[in-house]
């Protein structure tokens, strides 16, 4: 009897030992797999993705960086597990990927729609940042002050004095100039000329145009040379920065969400604009800019 009891005790102990070592080893193998951090092929995305990578490395994870992925590819790449996490925008997810309307909704409402909508694609989103990269109109500061223009209502009333620089589609896209005309009344600009999108600030700086469509986190807006004109009727919805992650990757790396939420809490519109200024205006390397920001604001 004592021999039988001893045998049972030994078998139970062996089973516990085997299970106790087998399960953690599987979890360990998953968590030791490098996290693939991607970015779109624009500077803000590259800078933020590098900050994400640094935050994940600080948590002890191995990271593989995959920058410069085309905008229309990165979402699908994350679905397929070719990318584990990357920075996107709540408005982009809702309007471009989910094909739903974001106008008229608050930042939290759009973030909720985005979070729920990507679940079916095997994706998830973490906390959205206060940083908001939405559509906007900018003017040279000296022109805005000269004509006393602070918001789009004032711009509409004085549009006949304003030379507008477009990028070829703004005057046609439903959510752009047509939306402005519908909400504020027709903008009868003195002239509308099309330029390469990358030249719009230069054209205004050279005095060849008085206003142009921009993004609200553009680095040039941090120089003082340009003024963002307030959308006082809120026709353009929030596009808050948000990490998009593959669900399996997020589950197998449980500290990922916490690390990136900590980063995003600090990425305000002002912070993003400053980061973009350092890269796009001052010509600094985005990796250097990301590292300096992370060490001063998060680490």
Q: Rounded CA gap, 294 and 216, in Å?
A: 22
Neighbours of 231 (CB within 10 A): 19
Q: Could you list the pLDDT tens digit for every one of the 299 residues in the chain?
A: 333 344 334 433 433 333 343 333 334 445 678 999 999 999 999 999 999 999 999 999 999 999 999 998 999 999 999 999 999 999 999 999 999 999 999 999 999 999 999 999 999 999 999 999 999 999 999 999 999 999 999 999 999 999 999 998 999 999 999 999 999 999 999 999 999 999 999 999 999 999 999 999 999 999 999 999 999 999 999 999 999 999 999 999 999 999 999 999 999 999 999 999 999 999 999 999 999 999 999 98
Q: Rounded CA gap, 129 and 267, in Å?
A: 6
DSSP state letter for 99: -
Q: Rounded CA gap, 276 and 286, in Å?
A: 9
Strands 191-194, 163-166: pairing is: parallel
For residue 236, the model assigns a pLDDT of 97
- H, E, C per residue of 202-237: HHHHCCCCCEEEEECCCHHHHCCCEEEEECCCCCCC
The reply to whether the predicted model has a pTM over 0.75 is: yes
Q: Is the Cα dihedral 54, 276, 238, 107 positive or negative? A: positive
Strands 212-215, 135-140: pairing is: antiparallel
For residue 244, the model assigns a pLDDT of 98
For residue 31, the model assigns a pLDDT of 60
Q: What is the DSSP code string of 112-135? A: HHHHHHTGGGTEEE-PPPS-B--E
For residue 168, the model assigns a pLDDT of 87
Give the full edge-to-edge strand order of the sheet including 123-125. 63-69, 35-40, 85-89, 241-246, 123-125
Q: What angle in degrees, to the nearest 10, is found between the helix axes of 43-58 and 269-276?
A: 110
Of 44, 47, 88, 84, which is closest to residue 64 (Cα–Cα)?
Answer: 84
For residue 87, the model assigns a pLDDT of 98
The tally of CA atoms less than 13 A away on the side-chain side of residue 190 is 12
Q: Rounded CA gap, 147 and 136, in Å?
A: 18
For residue 32, the model assigns a pLDDT of 77
Neighbours of 147 (CB within 10 A): 16
For residue 30, the model assigns a pLDDT of 52
């Amino acid at each position: 009897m004592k021999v039988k009891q001893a045998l049972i005790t030994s078998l139970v102990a062996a089973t516990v030992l085997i299970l106790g070592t087998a399960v953690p080893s599987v979890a360990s193998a998953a968590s030791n797999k490098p996290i693939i951090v991607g970015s779109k092929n624009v500077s803000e995305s590259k800078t933020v993705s590098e900050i994400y990578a640094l935050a994940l490395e600080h948590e002890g994870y191995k990271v593989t960086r995959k920058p410069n992925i085309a905008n229309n590819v990165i979402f699908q790449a994350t679905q397929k597990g070719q990318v584990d996490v990357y920075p996107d925008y709540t408005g982009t997810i809702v309007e471009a990927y989910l094909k739903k309307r974001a106008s008229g909704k608050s930042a939290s409402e759009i973030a909720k729609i985005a979070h729920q909508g990507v679940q079916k694609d095997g994706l998830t989103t973490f906390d959205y940042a206060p940083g908001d990269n939405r559509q906007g109109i900018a003017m040279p500061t000296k022109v805005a002050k000269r004509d006393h223009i602070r918001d789009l209502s004032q711009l509409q009333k004085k549009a006949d004095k304003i030379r507008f620089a477009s990028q070829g589609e703004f005057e046609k896209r439903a959510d752009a100039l047509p939306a402005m005309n519908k909400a504020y009344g027709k903008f009868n600009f003195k002239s509308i000329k099309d330029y390469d999108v990358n030249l719009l600030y230069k054209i205004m700086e050279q005095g060849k145009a008085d206003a142009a469509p921009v993004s609200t986190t553009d680095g040039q807006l941090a120089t003082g040379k340009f003024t963002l004109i307030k959308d006082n009727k809120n026709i353009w919805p929030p596009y808050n920065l948000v990490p998009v992650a593959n669900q399996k990757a997020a589950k197998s790396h449980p500290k990922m969400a916490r690390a990136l939420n900590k980063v995003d809490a600090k990425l305000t519109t002002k912070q993003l604009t400053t980061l973009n200024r350092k890269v796009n205006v001052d010509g600094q390397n985005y990796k250097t800019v990301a590292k300096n920001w992370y060490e001063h604001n998060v680490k």
